[in-house]
Amino acid sequence: MSHKQAEIYTYDFCDGEHPERLLDALRHFYISGLFTDVTLQCGESGQEFHCHKALLSACSSYFKVMFTTDMRERSDSVIKLTGIDCDVLGTLVEYVYTAQVCMTKSNVQSLLEAAGLLQFLSVKQACEEFLIRFLDVDNCLGMHAFAQLHVFPIQVRSTENTEPEV
pLDDT digits (tens, 9 = 90+) for 53-90: 999 999 999 999 999 998 787 888 999 999 899 999 99
DSSP character at residue 141: H
DSSP character at residue 1: -
Of the candidates 115, 65, 112, the residue with the CA atom closest to the CA atom of residue 93:
115
Residues pairing with 41 in the sheet: 48, 80
Q: Residue 78 in 3-state DSSP?
A: strand
**For residues 102 and 65, is the Cβ–Cβ distance under 8 A?**
no
pLDDT greater at residue 148 or residue 40: 40
Domain ranges for the chain: 18-149
Identify the CATH number of the domain defined by range 18-149. Answer: 3.30.710.10
Strands (E), the chain: 38-42, 48-51, 78-81
pTM of this prediction exceeds 0.85: no
